[in-house]
Structure 1
Amino acid sequence: MSKPSVLIIGGGVFGTSTAYHLAQRGYTNVTVVDRFAPPSRDSAGTDLNKVIRADYPNPYYAKLGLETLSVWKDPESLFKGLYRETGWIMGGHQETNQWLENAKILADKTGREGVEYLSKEQMKKRWPALTGDFPDWTNLYSPRAGWVPSGQALLRMAKAAEDMGVRYITGASGQIKTLVYDQDNTCKGAVAVNGQYHSADKIIVSAGAGLPALLKGARTDVKAETSVICVIQLEPHEIEKYNGIPIIDDFEQGKDGMATDLNFRICPYPNTGNLIIATAGSNHGFKFLPVIGKYVADLVEDKLDAGLKDLWKWKFGEKPADFQDPHPYPRRDLEELTGWKGRNAPAGGKLPWTWSRSRI
């Protein structure tokens, strides 16, 4: 029996991984549409680097984290040579210490060695380059965490997908303006800004922060949000000084599709036929690039694990009773920021794209 054709809207983390895994399963008619060629500038995953870790209070994500870590570390995998194991220090505060504690409890239960709390004195003794006061920090150290150059990883996977026959349509033909439905509210395809019509047997929307613009009703569960990121270019003597210290993440504080409960949305879109949502990385989705498409493919083939179905279902804005936000701080609209004009943002607010392409 022949496999259905698949149209994937969005060439970021979820879209790229899904295309790759579908092609691996023998799908020969898979098309990814995006206004940018890989690695897509619209993707929250297209960046200098992203943290890779398995530290979660939720057992599903912790298990997926270990699965994806094994791929990142595999010297024979598609991503060989990209993973840097540096360790990771999670700095919690009063509002976030419970998240850390639950992550620590789960790490202990699953036998992950070396995950431990460190005092600021212990941190400074182990890494003398750390000289700050770290006021009121609760520090959870995870030694097996690390980072990867994320733009390069996305590009590798997209190229591998293309090598297996996946077709990428970019530019005005790949920038989707609207979805098309029949009289029964079944999604049949999508129209690009230049008027080109794309259709397929299966439609998957992996548009990230662009999801609410395509589906107004999606705002119940997914919103476009940005996080404040600071990138500092080190001088040569600073590189030598800080070489060997772990990643330090202060939980106090790119644009991404943020789910109301920070869980991905990998599910049929409610009250709509033939429309699958696979997006909402919620600032922690990139690490799963090697494996997340496998689970989207499972949903396409109606064999996704029941627990994951429940975790990633459409929730109409409701949060689970045990919801934990690692960043429980007020959100602000960009228009509230004094002097925000956007004119100083290079390349539409992202980093120069030659970086990801030149270091593959």
Structure 2
Amino acid sequence: MAKPSVLIVGGGVFGTSTAYHLSLRGYTDVTVLDRFDVPSKDSAATDLNKVVRADYPNPLYTKLGLEAMDVWKNPHSIFSGMYRESGWIMGAHDMTRGWLESARNVAEAAGRKGVPSGQAVLRMANAARSNGVKYSCGDAGYVRKLIYEGNTCRGVITADGSEHFADLVVLASGSNTATLVEAKKESEAQSSVICVIKLEPHEVEKYKDIPIVDDFEQGIIFPPDEDGLIKLCSCRTVTNYQNNRVLGASILHSLGDYPDDGCPKEIEDELRQFVREMIPELADRPFISTKLCWDALAGDLNFRICPYPESKNLFVATMGSNHGFKFLPVIGKYVVDMLEGKLGKDWADLWKWKFGKVPDDFQDPHPYPPRDLAELTGWKSRNALGNGKLPWTWSRL
């Protein structure tokens, strides 16, 4: 019996991993549509590097994290050479001290490492292409509308006016999801703010072995990469309710549309104070580039890998909730299980559509509420004023 055709909207972590695992299971008609080529400018994973960890209080995520780490570390996997051993320092203040204690107990066994995230998505996408998956980008991949026949989703319309049809449509559309389906109660686009410092050649040796420094209330400092770039990430996130076309929803402020927009002044001040406490001599270095790194967050911070409840033949694999990248090697396997009706009950309950409901005992590890982009200053055309900016895309493998 022939496998169904599949359209995947979004070429980030969830979309790329799903495409790759579909190709491994014999699906021969799989198309990924994204406005941008891999790694997509709008994907949360299009970044210098990400932390790979398995320290979760929920044993299902710990199991998933350890499964992914086995692939990251495997010298024969498609990610060979990308996994970087690193030390790790966790920090907290009064608001997150309890979370720190519980996280430490798990983390001592699981550990944290680093992976060049944009390159990893590109490598997996190339493997999917080699297996026959088709990718379409530009206006031909920019999905603007879904096609329905009654209550059944039949396909999509892209910005060039083309219609694409498939037996199954999967929305792996991240922080753009609310532009395609009703998801205001389920998903909120939030952005972490990324700033990059370039070390002088003589400093690379000095700092090359620093650990990941993770403060739940302030931010994260990453070790330098092979180009001497140190990434800083704020733990204070940003929403975008006022500068978008979907009333009542927060959606991404696209890097593709606004490549020069970057770090708000208020968050820069907070990040510099954090660096001043950790590595004082780097606190006042100019940022060679900054970025708003958007992801879709569910209220309970769990993914949504499930049928979309209001339509037939339409599925979602999204809401990475700022912790999805590390599962890139394996998450697509679970999406395919869901499409085939084989997803285990524990996973299905964890990742089902919850209509905005959040458990009464839910605790957010980052306690400060997000601020809306419209309330902040200094971010418009921020990168155009600097000495240079990163392309946030990679061709090297």
Give the TM-score taking structure 1 as reference length: 0.85
Q: Please state how far the C-alpha of 1:107 moved relative to its aligned partner.
A: 5.2
Say which SS state the counterpart of residue 273 (structure 1) adopts.
coil
Distance in 1, Cα, partners of 2:102 & 2:176: 32
Q: Give the structure 2 partner of residue 234 of structure 1.
A: 199
Distance in 2, Cα, partners of 1:325 & 1:289: 23
Q: Is 1:260 matched up with 2:299?
A: yes
Q: Give the structure 2 partner of residue 136 of structure 1.
A: none
Q: Give the structure 2 partner of residue 62 of structure 1.
A: 62
Contact 1:261/1:323 (8 A) holds in 2: yes
Amino acid in the other structure paired with 1:310: D
Q: Give the structure 2 partner of residue 194 of structure 1.
A: 160
Q: Which residue, 247, 253, 263 being the options, matches 2:212?
A: 247
Q: 1:107 to 1:231 in 2, by over 3 A?
A: closer
Q: Please state how far the C-alpha of 1:341 moved relative to its aligned partner.
A: 2.2
Q: Which residue, 296, 299, 322 being the options, matches 1:283?
A: 322
Q: 1:45 to 1:269 in 2, by over 3 A?
A: same
Range with greater deviation from structure 2 (299-308 or 336-345): 336-345
Task: Extract unaligned runs of 5+ from structure 1.
Answer: 113-141
Amino acid in the other structure paired with 1:229: I
Give the length in aligned residue pairs: 320
Q: Please state how far the C-alpha of 1:271 moved relative to its aligned partner.
A: 2.1
Q: Is 1:212 matched up with 2:178?
A: yes
Range with greater deviation from structure 2 (255-264 or 87-96): 87-96
Identity of aligned residues (%): 62
Contact 1:47/1:351 (8 A) holds in 2: no
Q: Please state how far the C-alpha of 1:196 moved relative to its aligned partner.
A: 0.5
Q: Is 1:81 matched up with 2:81?
A: yes
Range with greater deviation from structure 2 (289-298 or 312-321): 312-321
Q: 1:238 to 1:206 in 2, by over 3 A?
A: same
Q: Give the structure 1 partner of residue 189 of structure 2.
A: 224
Q: Which residue, 315, 325, 328 being the options, matches 2:354?
A: 315
Contact 1:9/1:34 (8 A) holds in 2: yes
Q: Is 1:27 matched up with 2:23?
A: no
Q: Give the structure 2 partner of residue 164 of structure 1.
A: 131
Range with greater deviation from structure 2 (149-158 or 228-237): 228-237
User: Cα deviations across residues 49-101 of structure 1 (Å, max 9, x unaligned)?
Assistant: 11111111111111111111111000111100001010322212222222222
Q: Please state how far the C-alpha of 1:106 moved relative to its aligned partner.
A: 4.0
Q: Give the structure 2 partner of residue 131 of structure 1.
A: none
Amino acid in the other structure paired with 2:134: R
Give the TM-score taking structure 2 as reference length: 0.77
Range with greater deviation from structure 2 (48-57 or 6-15): 48-57
Q: Please state how far the C-alpha of 1:39 moved relative to its aligned partner.
A: 1.2
Q: 1:168 to 1:310 in 2, by over 3 A?
A: same
Distance in 2, Cα, partners of 1:315 & 1:296: 17
Contact 2:90/2:215 (8 A) holds in 1: yes
Contact 1:11/1:38 (8 A) holds in 2: yes
Equivalences for residues 34-49 of structure 1 within 5 A: 34-49=34-49
Q: Give the structure 1 partner of residue 99 of structure 2.
A: 99
Task: Extract unaligned runs of 5+ from structure 2.
Answer: 218-234, 236-292
Amino acid in the other structure paired with 2:178: P
User: Cα deviations across residues 318-358 of structure 1 (Å, max 9, x unaligned)?
Assistant: 11233221111111110111234246369xxx84145x11x
Q: Give the structure 1 partner of residue 343 of structure 2.
A: 304
Contact 1:54/1:65 (8 A) holds in 2: yes
Contact 2:48/2:392 (8 A) holds in 1: no
Q: 1:302 to 1:168 in 2, by over 3 A?
A: same
Q: Please state how far the C-alpha of 1:243 moved relative to its aligned partner.
A: 2.2
Q: Which residue, 156, 174, 182 being the options, matches 2:149?
A: 182
